[in-house]
Structure 1
Amino acid sequence: MKRQLTTWARVRKFFNDLHLWLGLASGIVVIVVCLSGTIYTYNTELREMAAKHLHKVEVPVAGQRLPADSLTAVVAQSSGGRVTAVAIPADLGRSFEYTVRTEGDKSRFGTTYYVNPYTGELLGTSKEETRVGKFMGYMFSLHRWLLLDKVEQPIFGELPNRQLGSYITGAATILFTLGVITGLIIWFPRKLRTWRQGLKIKWTGGWKRLNHDLHNTLAFYSLIFLFLMGVTGPQWSFPWYREGLQKTLGTYREAPAGSRGGSAGSAQQSSGRDGAESSGRQAGNRAEKAAVTLLPIAQYLAAADEALPYRGDYRIMFPAEGDSILSITKNRVGFFAPAAGDQLKIDAATASVKDITIFRDKPFNERIAGSIKALHIGNLYGQFTKLLYFLACLIATSLPITGTLIWLNKMKKKPSSRKRKIPELVAD
């Protein structure tokens, strides 16, 4: 029995040392990445609060929303571009969002036009800037590239600064994930009967004991979220990591020859809404053909409601010129609503449903692959998981600080402990 305890003590010491050096090596970057990630958790909500005039509308008494078709024509005439999609929210107090692509527009998602669905008034576009929007842009840059994308001159040879910043944050995140795993191993007490102590914070103890408990206990409670954030993050930094993650999930597919940056299986990494955006970009780039005659949007929504009988937000992707299939993504709404949406393919000429993709009916590995972004940023199940991720990310920000203090306190104890041991050794 004594031999087993000695072996475990050695193993525990090894992982403890590994945990220490992983934390010291990545600590500063982890603090920056986690703090910016904590703030960015509520990016959408903060941006909308700063631009309420774009997203919120007053609902008239007994008012009825105008047909989305008529508003489509207004947006097309005002923008001078082609409307590729419209988002129709379940919330009656929100605006309609029309995605427009104009000739020469190289932006990733095009321009969004916000329209009052009761008056037809154009409220503004996604190109409007606010102070909060700029601040959140800096938080995203800090989180992904440590603001190195803002530096014009290359810092390290010919390597683009954005890529350099991505490598640094990606490497630090990998070290952080390994630290989470090793931390779980050393969390287990030497005597299993004392495991309950690792679940409590002794608020009445000295500051050293309090700091130790804050590090160990809070890390344990947020462990699963820290692991999910850490294991998904590096895929945006390293193609080899992304490919390995896809192969692990069994969703890897070879990129077509000549494709850009070919993240194989990338279509499966997007959520339903992101997938719809991708389809819209492809549609906007196709060669012009004969235009298809569309039915009233209300007919498509009626078909979608029959196929997916629940309350939700709609995003309708109009068919590319010459195509006859219209795509609809429907997302459930609510505090515990899943981020991934269900998708429909509808015949534009007859409003008949050609194909239905229910997200929860997909194989487990495909659902995970389709939720990578949601797993990383925390909107997997709406505001419920966002709140959990916000708290977990805040804890992650504190771990390098509390961990370093634990290490410094142990360093101070070592000389005195040696002095106590010397007389005992002589006596023996």
Structure 2
Amino acid sequence: MGKKKKYGIRTFINDVHLWLGLVSGIILFLVCLSGTILTFEKEIEGWFKEKLTVEATGPKKSLSSLVNDPNIRAKGTITGMTIPTAENSPYQFSIKEDPKQRRGTTYEVNPYTAEVLAPKETGMDKFMFSMFRMHRWLMMDIKWGRPIVGIATIIFLILAISGIVLWFPKKVKWKTVKSGFKIKTNANWKRINHDLHNTLGFYSCILILIMGITGLCWSFEGYRDGLSAIMGTRVFGNRGGQEVDLDSFDNGRTINLEEAIAIANRELNYEGTLTVSLPNEKNPVYGFRKLADDSWSTVAQDRLNVHQSGQVISKDIYADKPLNVKIASAIKPIHTGTIYGGFSKWLYFLACLIGTSLPVTGTIIYINKLKKKRKRRRSLATA
């Protein structure tokens, strides 16, 4: 009889990796699959929607004339707009069709003709919303779905870390390590399946860890508070602003929209997409966000608040923020992969796709090992 193998730390890690993977496999598959689809949510939805054609047919209409256009005003209360720099891009107007709406509906507006394109919900919109519910709550009640997804995410983090440990061979030598960097395509299907799990899991582990660490911010409030304490700044809801006495800025003068935008472009003097929040009875402030056309990231937006009297209340330049505030403000785009635009989206798409495959390939590996053990027992029994 052969010597009985010792139950060491590596065997323990392997068992943890195996059983946690089997227990959470279906949930992780669904969360990763929905995450993979949601990576290009806006692009996919755009394929199924009517697009507003914009041609430069002369000078653009003034924003004041667009805001006061009867066809646009008939849609509801205009709360803000986004003004791109491209000549052939439509403006986007945020319109509250009902006072109870929180953010309103986004309408596309032709800046040359005032033509309005109302958004129409498509079957793809409904499908994407179901994927969102799947990703966040497994299409369950939020009370139950959110913590279940959160626990599955913690398990995924443990699987990623233990997987990295198991990726390294017992004897770390270049000859044995380099085989883990490639998939042996000329081998039998069992070896190919093993390599798909082992190698692709290794390549995607960093992004999986990033997605897991940031994703827990939506699952557990305590985790979010703890991360905020560690980072020294608030995760979600931190705009870097301070409460000010708005009455002190009231000088009896009221500027129009064009004047407010002129102030914003003077203070934020570069080419970029400008988003405007209009003042109202409760808040007499023009809020501006501007993203430079040559910006390295989708989150590198500068902010400006201008009182309707024309005085600048606050100016928040992204480049001047401390690193911890920059990271905290980027948690969502870091999680979704939008932080570096199309480049990071493709990386996240591939990582999510691999994450979706890992429970499948891992289960197949386990089944193959069970079959191998059964054959060995039968051969010993008949010997």
* CA distance in structure 2 between the partners assigned to 1:13 and 1:311 by the alignment: 58
**Please, which of 407, 423, 426 is the counterpart of residue 366 of structure 2?**
407
Matched, 1:222 2:222: no
- Residues 69 and 205 of structure 1: is their aligned pair in 2 closer, same or farther, counting only changes over 3 Å? same
Q: Does 1:68 align with 2:66?
A: no
Name the residue aligned to 2:325: 366
Q: State, as a whole percentage, how many aligned pairs show the same letter.
A: 41
Query: 8 Å contact 2:56–2:88 — kept in the other structure?
Result: no
Q: Deviations over 1:391-426 (max 9, x none)?
A: 11111000000111112222222345568999xxxx
Contact 1:72-1:98 within 8 A present in 2 as well: no
Q: Which ranges in structure 2 are unaligned for 5 or more consecutive residues?
A: none
Q: Report if aligned partners of 1:315, 1:330 keep a CA contact under 8 Å in 2.
A: yes
Deviations 1:135-193 (A, max 9, x none): 11111122122222xxxxxxxxxxxx232122222221111111111111111222222
Residue type at the aligned position of 1:137: F
Q: Give runs of aligned pairs for residues 379-390 of structure 1, distance below 5 A.
A: 379-390=338-349
Partner of 2:255: 294
Q: Give 1:125-136 correspondences, 5 Å limit.
A: 125=119, 128-136=120-128
Check whether the contact 2:76–2:96 (CA below 8 A) recurs between aligned residues: no
Structure-to-structure mapping, 1:151-230, within 5 angstroms: 161-193=141-173, 194-230=176-212
Q: Give the distance between the partners of 1:138 and 1:181, measured in 2 at CA.
A: 30
Shift of 1:290: 12
Q: How does 1:61-100 map to 2 (within 5 A)?
A: 61=57, 63-74=58-69, 77-81=73-77, 83-100=78-95
Task: Assess if the C-alpha contact under 8 Å between 1:34 and 1:393 holds in 2.
Answer: yes
Residue in 2 that maps onto 1:236: 218
After TM superposition, give the deviation of residue 322 of structure 1 in Å.
6.2
Query: Cα distance 1:124–1:32, how it changes in 2: closer, same or farther (>3 A)?
Result: same
Once the two structures are TM-superposed, the CA of residue 236 in structure 1 deviates from its matched residue by 1.6
Structure 2 vs 1, CA of residues 223 and 64 (structure 1 numbering), >3 Å: closer, same or farther?
farther
**Secondary structure of 1:179's aligned partner:** helix
Matched, 1:396 2:366: no
Aligned AA (1:398): S
The unaligned stretches of length 5 or more in structure 1 are 1-5, 149-160, 253-264, 284-288, 423-428
What is the rounded CA distance, in whole Å, between the counterparts of 1:239 and 1:39 in structure 2? 26
Matched residue SS, 2:79: strand
Per-residue deviation, 1:100: 2.5
Q: 1:267 aligns with which of 220, 224, 237?
A: 237
Query: How far apart in 2 are the matches of 1:26 and 1:322?
Result: 49
Distance change >3 Å, CA 357–CA 335, structure 1 → 2: closer
* C-alpha distance in 2 between matches for 1:76 and 1:122: 7
| Cα distance, 1:360–1:226 mapped onto 2, change above 3 Å | farther
Report the AA paired with residue 65 of structure 1.
K
Equivalent residues of 2:72, 2:116 under 8 A apart: no
Q: TM-score, normalised by structure 1?
A: 0.78
Q: TM-score, normalised by structure 2?
A: 0.86
Distance across 2 between alignment mates of 1:57 and 1:28: 44
